Amino acid sequence: MHIKEFQQLISRKYERRDRERGTPLTFMWLVEEIGELATTLAKDEDLKNKQDEFADVFAWLCTLANINDVDLEKACEKYIKNQVDGFK
């Protein structure tokens, strides 16, 4: 599955409700999921828990991108085309 396909799947399932929630609250959900991922990594939990938390973070990132009309696959092209200078 490509990033665009996953982002579209998330859009079909959740976008109407996500747009109603808005960017600030959706961002807070993303931050909460990042916190859960951080806890999972800090505790060095099993692979299944890590996978679940990574998936949740990615799904919420897609949600946030959808309600802000950002195509994540297109946005990631800068890495494919070596348009990133240095390290951040």
What does the pLDDT read at residue 86?
A: 65
Helix runs in the chain, H state only: 3-21, 23-42, 47-67, 72-75, 77-80
pTM: 0.89
> Is residue 61 in a domain?
yes
Number of folded domains in the chain?
Answer: 1
CATH number of the domain to which 68 belongs: 1.10.287.1080
CA 71 to centroid of chain Cα atoms = 12
Tell me if 16 is assigned to some domain: no
How far apart are the C-alpha atoms of 62 and 39, rounded to whole Å? 21
Please report, as a single letter, which amino acid is at residue 45. Answer: E
pLDDT, tens only, 9-64: 999 999 999 999 999 999 999 999 999 999 999 999 999 999 999 999 999 999 99
The residues near 61 (Cβ < 8 Å, ≥ 6 apart) are 30, 72
Instruction: Give the whole-angstrom CA distance, residue 40 versus residue 17.
Output: 28
Residue 44 is predicted with a pLDDT of 95
pLDDT given at position 5: 97
* 43 in a structural domain: yes
Confirm whether 50 is domain-assigned.
yes
- Predicted local distance difference test score (pLDDT) of residue 9: 98
Range of the domain at 49: 25-76
